[in-house]
Amino acid sequence: MVGDNIKNNSPSIVEEMQNLEKNGFLSLKSKRNKFNEQLILNDYTTIFDKIHEGIFLLEENSGIIKYVNKKAADLIGLKKEEIIGKPENYFINPINQKNHFTYQNKNDESETFSLIAADGKKITISKDSSQFHLKNKSY
C-alpha cells in the first residue's frame, strides 16, 4: 500500500529529533539556560567589580579561576583574561601552597598567605572564603 511505503521510508520521530539536535535546533533550551546563567553572573560581576577588595571566583572542585574583579587583577598585575582559566595555585607562593590546601576545602575560613604577582613580587594577603552557588555549580 502507498501509505505503508511512506510510513516505512520516513524517519522516526526519534531520528528527526536527533537530526534537529545535531543541527542545533533543539539546543534552544540549553542556550536559554546558559543565557539566564550569564545574566545572573553578570549581575554578580557588576557588584564584584564595584567592591574595593580583590575577588577570585574559583570552581569548587578544580580550583580553576572562573572570574576575578578588577582589584584582584590589579593586585596580580595582569589583565582579567590572563588570570581566568588558570588554577588558583598558579599565583600562590610555593612556600604557602601546602598550608593553603589544608584550608581549601573549609568554608568560611580565613587565612594569610602570599601571592606571587606578575612582576615576581610577593604580596601578603588575608583570604576570607565562602561558598557561592549559581545554577547547580559551587564556587
Beta carbons of 132 and 58 less than 8 angstroms apart: no
Q: Are residues 33 and 8 in the same domain?
A: yes
Structural domain range at position 131 = 54-139
The reply to whether 119 and 78 lie within a common domain is yes
Number of domains in the chain: 2
Angstrom distance (rounded) from CA 48 to CA 70: 9
Query: Residue 9: how many CB atoms within 10 A of its CB?
Result: 7
**Residue 24 pLDDT exceeds 70:** no
**Cell numbers representing residue 101 in the block:** 590546601
The reply to whether 77 and 130 lie within a common domain is: yes
Q: Tell me, what DSSP letter sits at residue 127? A: E
- Is residue 62 located within the same domain as residue 88? yes
Q: Assess whether 130 and 71 both reside in one domain.
A: yes
- Give yes or no: residues 92 and 123 share one domain: yes
33 and 90, same domain (yes or no): no
Contact between 116 and 93 (Cβ < 8 Å): yes
pTM over 0.85: no
**pLDDT, tens digit (0-9, with 9 covering 90-100), for 60-88:** 788 889 889 999 999 999 999 999 999 98
